[in-house]
Amino acid sequence: MPRRPAEAPSADDIALFHDTIGTVDRLNDDHLPPDPPPRRPRVRVAERMAEADLNPLSDATAEPVEHGEYLSFVRPDTAPAILRKLKRGQFSVVASLDLHGMTIDLARNAIHRFFQAERQEIRCCVRLVHGKGNRSERQIPVLKQMVNHWLPQRDEVIAFCSAPAHDGGTGALYVLLKRR
């Protein structure tokens, strides 16, 4: 529906506004102190070390992933029917995490915190949106490649596969997590 241009307020509306507000004194901003410069965030060494210990995922030897490549993984001790059900979308997605715009380190830590928060008493399915790499240099899907490398290293991941087109396609994954 096209938007109508705003109408000018009537004289009655203007009078009502002035009656409600009352007299207004102009502030002289010559005497206001300038805003302080924003504080630079400090990264505490102990926090970084603790987080690294909690999230010991390796970045070494990540296999290249092509733009638009379909990803899938299932633990060797898991029935193949689980992956088929996941591919068909037969598990309800309980939560989603969007990694767009994150660096590799931020994405790794976000996945760790997300999995810790979403794992429940029963197995659950979550969606990770890593993107297709359309805006990256030479359209290389860096986060997709790293997520494909990290997830098999995580014990709580039972299986994962690229999502259907309506849910992100090759730019997102369905991940099945086991209970705590």
User: pLDDT tens-digit profile of 11-53?
Assistant: 998 889 888 888 887 777 667 677 777 766 655 544 554 454 4
- Residue 84 above 90 pLDDT? yes
Model pLDDT, residue 50: 47
The position carrying tokens 């309506």 is 166
**What's the pLDDT at 40?**
64
The answer to whether 164 and 72 have CB atoms below 8 angstroms apart is no
Specify whether domain 68-177 bears CATH 3.20.20.150.
no
Kindly list the domain boundaries of the chain, sorted by start residue. 68-177
**What is the pLDDT at residue 115?**
86
Q: Across the beta sheet with 157-162, what order do the strands follow?
A: 72-74, 157-162, 172-177, 124-129, 93-98
Other Cβ atoms closer than 10 A to 8: 8
**Burial zone of 89 (CB within 10 Å; 0-12 exposed, 13-18 middle, 19+ buried):** middle
pLDDT surpasses 80 at 175:
yes
> 0.95 cut: is pTM over it?
no
pLDDT beyond 60 at 121: no
DSSP 68-105: T---EEE-TTS-HHHHHHHHHT-S-EEEEEE-TT--HH
């490398």: which residue's tokens?
149
